[in-house]
Structure 1
Amino acid sequence: MVRSEFGVPLMHVPRSYQKELGGGATLDLGIYCLQFICMVYGGEKPECIQATGVCQETGVDETVVVTLKFSKNRFAVFTCSSRIPLPNDAIIIGTKGTIRVPGHMWCPTSLVVNGEETRYPVPEPHLPLNFINSTGMRYEAEEVRQCLLKGLKQSAVMSHADSLLLAEVEDEIRRQVGVVYDQDQDHSRCL
């Protein structure tokens, strides 16, 4: 079982509520929860996706709860919200114990494995940050840079198939919650 939560009050930020900016909690915050879950399950596509949520007047989601069923009766649950603060943690529970990511699951600084904590500090910021621990995002940027320098078309850490899986699952979540963007109406723009 995997559980993940990411909720931060962002209703004052235009990308959180404006449909034309791709607003909504699922695309902005839920992606971190979903990517964590997909990494734990090795990029496996869920057998079943059940999502429910609350949409704003602008037509984008503000809070969403998702249950994913994987093969061998394995499950994952995640909650994301751009309205309310959540614990922002994650946990993996298996037959050999638990792995907990306390707080800031989008960029953790520690892991607790069967009660024993290991710290992974992130570099200190030189400028103000939008989110706690955002300097940890530098590792993503460095991976992109290394791929470009090596002439690679995709990362071994995050493949195109991984990205496509995340997009497909998020599309299904949005469909179930009732979030439709203008781009969803005209697929010919993507061809």
Structure 2
Amino acid sequence: MQLKWGIISTGNCSSEFTNCLNSLSNEEHTIVAVAAQDFSRARAFAKKYKIPICYGTYEKLAKDRNVEIVHIGNLNIQHFEVSRLMLENGKHVLCEKPMTMNEKQTRKLIEIARERNLFLMEGIWSRCFPLYKELRTLLDQQILGEILYVSATFGKPLQHIDRIREKRLGGGTILDLGVYLIQFVQFVFRGLDALEVNAVGHSNEYGVDESCSAVITFPGGKIANISSHSALLLPNEAEIVGKKGRIVVPQFWCPLKLITPMGTKHFDLPEVDPSIQFMSKFSKGYIYEIQEVWKCLKAGMIECPKMTHVESIKLVQLMDKMRKDVGIVYPDDLVKITK
């Protein structure tokens, strides 16, 4: 089965994702079109990556009948409208995190995808890394005994990046970094709904959070402590603590090392043609996500079992509550969604 991809946006994320698609078998994946809001950028991107068709509007790609599935890698504030456009034109959608700006938008996309029997996935690539499969096995084996505590931090000096610092672009650490923190907590405390969420943080001059810390409580005495920051380099690791020991996952959003009571296990990134130039070697991890999407569509699924629609809803609910506590409101929060 060959998936015919359309690429939305021409930024760094789209570039790395396209590199990964081009590294895989043409029998399973091919890129048929790219779209950007600036036609010259779309044309340059198409030329660089040997994509046959380029468009200067997202609407034109949505109408392209040769495109079966789209990767949406544009700005956070654009995810909802562009994903909706693609779904309403019969395209499967893999949308980068966060799927949308708030719960009502996420619910609407899932509603459309289910009504039209289309695949929709929030691009939490972390879930597709082999380490997460190994971690799930260890958790299911209860090697730590009863798990009562999870902590994770994610912070980098990102204040100079417009899409992180500016409200008009959907910036803030909760949406950009916190999404990874929350999904990790969800992964560990699988199936449990949060009892309470309490967050504090600091806003920048643009009115978005430059830092946020939250405590999330779960049934059974379980608790999670997470922190995000755009001005500091934090430890950037996750820790799971049970009554019989602990597990540490450095760089948990694209992890290659798992530290357990039995020892440390290392994981490799996928091998790709060395002639393909990546901005970051870790971007090769998109291959795991792409392969997972292919498996899902081959099996006729409309959601990925590694990142389900229910999880996406619960994730955005937690982000909404954290933003409320810190006092972060986006224009999209005040807009009623049309049918």
TM over 0.5: yes
1:108/1:133 contact within 8 Å kept: no
Deviation at 1:143, TM superposition (A): 1.6
Scaled by the length of structure 2, the TM-score of the pair is 0.53
1:161-176 equivalences in 2 (<5 Å) = 161-176=310-325
* Alignment counterpart, residue 73 of structure 1, candidates 212, 221, 241: 221
Q: Output the CA distance in 2 between the equivalents of 1:160 and 1:59.
A: 30
1:47-126 equivalences in 2 (<5 Å) = 47-102=195-250, 104-114=251-261, 116-123=263-270, 126=276
Q: Output the CA distance in 1 between the equivalents of 2:221 and 2:178.
A: 23
1:6/1:89 contact within 8 Å kept: yes
Q: Deviations over 1:45-87 (max 9, x none)?
A: 2101010001111111111001010101110001111221111
Q: 1:24 to 1:47 in 2, by over 3 A?
A: same
Residue 322 (structure 2) pairs with residue 177 (structure 1): no
Q: Output the CA distance in 2 between the equivalents of 1:25 and 1:163.
A: 18
The residue aligned with 2:277 is 127
Percent of aligned pairs with the same residue? 36
The residue aligned with 2:180 is 32
Secondary structure of residue in 1 paired with 2:184: helix
Q: In angstroms, what is the RMSD of aligned CA positions? A: 1.6
Q: Deviations over 1:143-167 (max 9, x none)?
A: 2232233331101111100110001
Q: Output the CA distance in 2 between the equivalents of 1:159 and 1:10.
A: 29
Q: Whose helix proportion is higher, 1 or 2? A: 2
- Mean CA deviation greater in 171-180 or 10-19: 10-19
Aligned length: 188
- Return the letter of the residue paired with 2:278: P
1:174/1:180 contact within 8 Å kept: yes
The residue aligned with 1:148 is 297
Q: Which has the higher contact order (CA 8 A, sep 6+)?
A: 1
1:50/1:68 contact within 8 Å kept: yes
Q: Output the CA distance in 2 between the equivalents of 1:82 and 1:115.
A: 34
- Mean CA deviation greater in 162-171 or 150-159: 150-159
Structure 1 residue runs without a partner (length 5+): none
- Mean CA deviation greater in 49-58 or 10-19: 10-19
Q: 1:114 to 1:10 in 2, by over 3 A?
A: same
Deviation at 1:174, TM superposition (A): 0.5
- Return the letter of the residue paired with 1:144: V
1:90/1:105 contact within 8 Å kept: yes
Q: Deviations over 1:12-35 (max 9, x none)?
A: 211101212211001001111110
Deviation at 1:38, TM superposition (A): 0.5
Q: Output the CA distance in 2 between the equivalents of 1:179 and 1:51.
A: 12
The residue aligned with 2:308 is 159
